[in-house]
Structure 1
Amino acid sequence: MDTIYLLDSKNPQNFLYTLLGKGLQFIIVQQQSIKQVITSHLSGVMTCWYYLS
């Protein structure tokens, strides 16, 4: 089972760089702005997006 990370950090970029080194595959994001930040740093990474309401 893949790990699901909850991203609601004030510094999603820094948090993302840490996860990328650990085989990041699934992310839960709470805000569109965080999604945009992650998308710009995830070229070539297989990612499934799950949105919380």
Structure 2
Amino acid sequence: MDIHSLFSISPFDWPAIVTAVFCDAIIGLERQLRGKPVGIHTSALITLGTSYS
């Protein structure tokens, strides 16, 4: 087993996942600072789940 197959998440790609989580972490941070019920962690998980559906 080589390192490439160990970190392979085919058919997804790492840049898309990182971008989705980063963008929604910004939205989650804004919501958390304003005291809204959905914070950073929840928003990041929702975006990650829906980015490939």
Same fold (TM over 0.5): no
Scaled by the length of structure 1, the TM-score of the pair is 0.29
Relative to its length, the structure with more helix (as a share) is 2
Scaled by the length of structure 2, the TM-score of the pair is 0.29
Of the two structures, which has the highest relative contact order with CA contacts closer than 8 Å and spacing of 6 or more? 1
